[in-house]
Structure 1
């Protein structure tokens, strides 16, 4: 049975929020840039946080917060994969985890492959960990984006020591197949390289698409990979600061265990409380309704672009609520989001921030009401 779409909160109520989405721009701007959603929290999360506040339970995060076992059960239900909770450690957020893993798996000056267009903080995380970014862009086909496995092999053969994978991919919404991930692992194994997989968008995979965790793709991927996971993107919990670093082999798990305790102390206690509630089966119906709302908006955007901006190129994302739209045909320059913000009063994520491949593109947040999405596209179309 298909879940009913979740309804977004009213715009006047959303404008009372104090988060980045609602405080970065003036009130007349429709904010569809940063990855926050406009829906009410899952009831189990609201209840858990209210309970903690009522108890005055605002102290330090315990070593055993329940997040690891909760995620293992969630992954079993949603992805058919049950990772070992004893091979996980928590930290504040996914990028913190990426940096700490890279610090322990590369040497200063080593090259780390990224696959643009890709999440902009990847370009900062690699040098923060002591590495140097090596770009191997995705290959754009007739209907999708795919990893350039030959290009990745050349990068590893040339000395790159790691790959920072986005799985599912932000901003294109690509869900890499099991076969691609297994092939990537074989390439990395041949060159004694490491793959660090950011899987924060995995819970947002469309119901008609199969998500494969990198660590579950093959024996090789389990042996050499690390994954970063969090409830923050799907359940809108970014400000609460909780993510998990996941390993699947004794050797990689030993790398996580060898990290200083301070890395785990960075986990927000409210983040842990909220994540346990998010990963609980009680929150599954809410997540199903969220997926229905996102899918409806993804279809709506397709229709709106065809009606109002027929030159735009857009592929419905296989995962996530972020739409990657090519506006090159409009002739609005390399960074069309600038003109859209100034003249249409709609804030979209700048395409070039994702890499050179983002020139002429924008990223649109679909995690809003259909009415807000419709108004945003109509405002943009008025610039033509």
Structure 2
């Protein structure tokens, strides 16, 4: 079937985090899409409701098969049932992994910039946060492998939290980059947890490599985290997966989950996950094509109307990282200027020191909304170019 991604659905007064406003602000910030979920997912949830009994639920064999088949046929990541654990979300899983691989006071390495919880959860859980700045070369980020190894040695790092595809930069790390990173971590016995929640949103021309496909011989120190929620715009349902291929490691993770009783999902999450992985391909292909066109539109608009903004074109996802340093000198003032124009982006300074004077734009919305948001950006910044 053909999906209408131009449809504007009013999300105000629904408890929406993204659309919490009482005015006509255009929301181009938090990472959820303004597209109606795939019909097979909505139908599956409706069938559960019509059944009428919403009792305790376990994952079924059909659910495990759907997860295994999706990751095998798309990424050549062939899992077995015992390699899969469930978690309420990727961020809770990041905290769980810190408890599995580290002790209070241990050093945890993340890149800068990075999705905010990578930093905050490390510090909130009593670990030492170590940052390695990404290198921007020809408009895209690269891992600074020399700096990563130096930081590992200097701080006796125990755990590396990788974001692949990268948020906010949209980079899909290439196989040779990941292999080089793995070699460094193996050399220094550093565990690797790879947040791969944006994997299914990899755009045309780029190839996503699951870290577990590289980890032979080091499986006891590698975990991947992912979810169907970003892929299919069902984040409000809550649900994610933990993948590991070492039996002792899976057992240890499971035992850690038992401490907090956080090892199962709700009925609707199991239902949506299975439906998404069995029947979601068509919706996803159409959504990605629409997102790609919105990325083109955004790049062209900014080049024409705000040419001093430097755009990092994403290789995955619907989030565009832009450098607004030609138009501002202060992070909070930049954010406030845009908010005064009634358009909200994600403030770059929340993603680390490398986010200074940068913003993150969410373009996964109907084109009319995107154009209005970009027009408001132009109105806000068009006359404030720094001398």
TM-score (norm: length of structure 2): 0.93
SS in 2 for 1:22: coil
1:343-364 Cα offsets, whole Å, 9 max, x none, are x100111110001111111111
What pairs up with 1:47-66 in 2 under 5 angstroms? 47-64=43-60, 66=62
Is this contact kept in 2: 1:65–1:272, CA < 8 A?
A: no
Q: Deviation at 1:369?
A: 1.3
Are residues 121 and 50 of structure 1, via their aligned partners in 2, closer, same or farther at CA, if it must alter by over 3 Å?
same
Cα deviation for residue 58 of structure 1 reads 2.2
In structure 2, what is the Cα distance between the partners aligned to 1:294 and 1:146? Answer: 24
CA drift at 1:263? 4.0
TM-superposed deviation, 1:128: 4.0
Cα distance, 1:5 vs structure 2: 7.6
SS at match of 2:321: strand
3-state DSSP of counterpart to 2:176: helix
Q: Sort the Cα spacing of 1:105 and 1:237 in 2 relative to 1 into closer, same or farther, 3 A.
A: same
In structure 2, the partner of 1:152 is 148
Tell me how far apart the structure 1 counterparts of residues 55 and 124 of structure 2 sit (CA, whole Å): 30
Match of 2:371 among 353, 360, 374: 374
Structure 1 counterpart of 2:227: 230
Bigger drift between 256-265 and 373-382 goes to 256-265
Q: Name the SS for the 1:196 alignment partner.
A: strand
Native 8 Å contact 2:106 2:157 kept in 1: yes
In the superposition, relative to structure 1, how do residues 65 and 365 fare at CA in structure 2: closer, same or farther (>3 Å)? farther
Instruction: Tell me if the contact between 2:232 and 2:276 (Cα under 8 Å) persists in the aligned partners.
Output: yes
Give the Cα–Cα distance (whole angstroms) in 1 for the partners of residues 121 and 307 of structure 2.
Answer: 37
SS of residue paired to 1:325: strand
Q: Is the 8 A contact 1:340 1:380 kept in 2?
A: yes
Q: Are 1:302 and 2:303 matched, yes or no?
A: no
| Alpha-carbon distance between aligned partners in 1 of 2:70 and 2:124, rounded to the nearest angstrom | 31
Answer with 69-78 or 353-362: which moved more.
69-78
Q: Which residue of 1 aligns with 2:130?
A: 134
- Work out the number of aligned pairs and report it: 378
- CA distance 1:279–1:63, shift in 2 (3 Å): closer
Distance in 1 (alpha carbons) for counterparts of 2:228 and 2:136: 29
Moved more, 53-62 or 165-174: 53-62
| Partner in structure 1 of residue 38 of structure 2 | 42
Cα separation, 1, equivalents of 2:348 and 2:146: 25
Aligned twin of 2:330: 333
Contact 1:100/1:129 (<8 A) preserved: no
Please say if 1:267 is aligned against 2:274.
no
Question: 2:105 — aligned with what?
Answer: 109
Q: Does 1:123 align with 2:119?
A: yes
Cα separation, 1, equivalents of 2:205 and 2:3: 16
Deviation, 1:311, is 0.4
Structure 1 CA distance for aligned equivalents of residues 34 and 108 of structure 2: 35
Counterpart CA distance in 1 for 2:3 and 2:371 is 17
1:364 to 361, 364, 368: 361
Structure 1 residue 290 corresponds to structure 2 residue 287? yes
**Does 2:196 match 1:199?**
yes
Query: What residue number does 2:249 align with?
Result: 252
2:275 maps to which residue?
277
Determine the C-alpha separation between the residues in 1 that align with 2:368 and 2:218.
43
1:6–1:292 contact (8 Å) kept in structure 2: no
Q: C-alpha distance in 2, partners of 1:301/1:77?
A: 32
Uncovered stretches (5+) of structure 2, i.e. residues with no partner: none
Q: CA deviation at 1:65?
A: 7.0
- Let me know the Cα RMSD of the aligned residues: 1.9
Partner Cα distance (1:307, 1:332) in 2:
22
> 1 CA distance for matches of 2:298 and 2:49?
39
Q: Quote the offset at 1:275 in angstroms.
A: 1.1
Task: Report the Cα distance in structure 1 between the residues aligned to 2:7 and 2:51, rounded to whole angstroms.
Answer: 28
